[in-house]
Amino acid sequence: MGAGHNHGGEAMRAGARHRKPLWAALAVLTTFMIVEAVAAWLTGSLALLSDAAHMFTDVLGIALAVAAITAAGRSSHGIHRTFGLYRLEVLAALANAALLFGVGVYVLVEAVRRFGDPPQVLVGPMLLVAIAGLIANVVAFLLLRTGSKESLNVRGAYLEVLSDLVGSVGVIVAAVVIAMTGWLYADLVVAVAVGVFILPRTWQLARAALRVLVQAAPPHIDVAAVRANLIDVPGVVDVHDLHVWTLTSGMDVASAHLSLRAGAELGPVLTAARARLHDGFGIDHCTLQVEPSTAEKVCDGIQW
């Protein structure tokens, strides 16, 4: 016998009202990211290019937040997609991490190459574009500020934009330094700083995506503690074939077999087990199979 409990998408559906601010911020940052990349090519500024790459991480974060909210809002997954399209978010994150890694490495390699003979930079356009980039980030920051207090998805995008403000300020500082002193290395120093900032974030994004794809237990959930809590449910004498994994960001899933002592009532056991998973670990989607303690454990030989 078994029972399932599915409230996994409730938090994401609750964030649907933040979709318009997310789309607005996405439009602003995407437009300016393209402008900044073109300006970097025209002015020869590596700092602008690295900041454009950094802004791409903002666009990625907001796009993934929109994708998560949209996927969570689907009421029907279809007979061939019983888990919906949630994993598309993870696959997109992994693909974009690879792209970001390439951009970050390119910026660092190009900076090293230029250190021997830094090229002239068109400081005026560089400064104007950097200031416009700062304004674009401030607009996106204000659009997402309210939603960041209510939705983890929106908060992630909000923090991405907040961190990019630093990059825009760095480019402005580099342009001012070059204009006042003629020290061309300022452009390279800022480019390296932003590139170094991008790479660790890229690795964290790739690692998080891979962790979901290999269905490892979420890092914030102690599987041993999950087992102990389920065994402690009145009427349960053993827990086996326990699995905890992440379907997509913000949606953790669990399945387990519960062996019941003789005379234990099925309904109260399942209710208590689901409550412990929800209250103690934030797991709202679980599949629990209950069986008499005398039943043969046919899953014992399965090594996964």
Residues 150 and 209 reside in one and the same domain: yes
Residues 114 and 233 reside in one and the same domain: no
Residues 242 and 143 reside in one and the same domain: no
Per-residue pLDDT, averaged over 91-108, amounts to 77
Per-residue pLDDT, averaged over 209-232, amounts to 93
Residues 25 and 150 reside in one and the same domain: yes
Question: Residue 303: pLDDT above 70?
Answer: no
Residue given tokens 């980039």 in the structure block: 133
Count Cα neighbours of 69 within 13 Å in the Cβ-side half-sphere: 21
- Across 108-123, b (16+ Cβ under 10 Å) vs e yields bebbeebeeebeebbb
Per-residue pLDDT, averaged over 66-88, amounts to 64
The answer to whether residue 1 is domain-embedded is no
Of 30-39, 86-95, 124-133, 250-259, the range with the lowest mean pLDDT is: 86-95
Q: Take residue 206 and report the two structure tokens written for it.
A: 């790739």
- Among residues 150, 68, 56, 132, the alpha carbon closest in space to that of 97 is found at 56
CA–CA distance, 124 with 121 (Å, rounded to integer): 9
Which is higher by pLDDT, 154 or 213?
A: 213
The answer to whether residue 298 is domain-embedded is no
* SS3 state at 247: strand
Contact 191, 54 (CB under 8 A): no
- pLDDT per residue over 269-293, tens digit each? 999 999 999 999 999 899 999 988 7
The answer to whether residue 260 is domain-embedded is yes
Q: Which pTM value belongs to this model?
A: 0.69
CA–CA distance, 252 with 106 (Å, rounded to integer): 36
Whole-number mean pLDDT of the chain? 81
Distances (CA, A) of 282 to 179, 208, 226, 249, 252: 54, 18, 11, 13, 8
Report the CATH number at residue 279.
3.30.360.10
* SS3 state at 253: strand
Q: How many helices (H) and strands (E) does the chain have?
A: 9, 4
Range(s) of the domain holding residue 248: 223-292
The structural domain count of the chain equals 2
Paired sense of beta strands 251-260 and 285-292, if any: parallel
Report the CATH number at residue 141.
1.20.1510
CA–CA distance, 53 with 46 (Å, rounded to integer): 11
Residues 256 and 146 reside in one and the same domain: no
Chosen domain end from 213, 231, 254? 213
CA–CA distance, 42 with 194 (Å, rounded to integer): 20
pLDDT in the model for residue 113:
84
CA–CA distance, 186 with 178 (Å, rounded to integer): 7
- pLDDT per residue over 173-186, tens digit each? 999 999 999 998 99
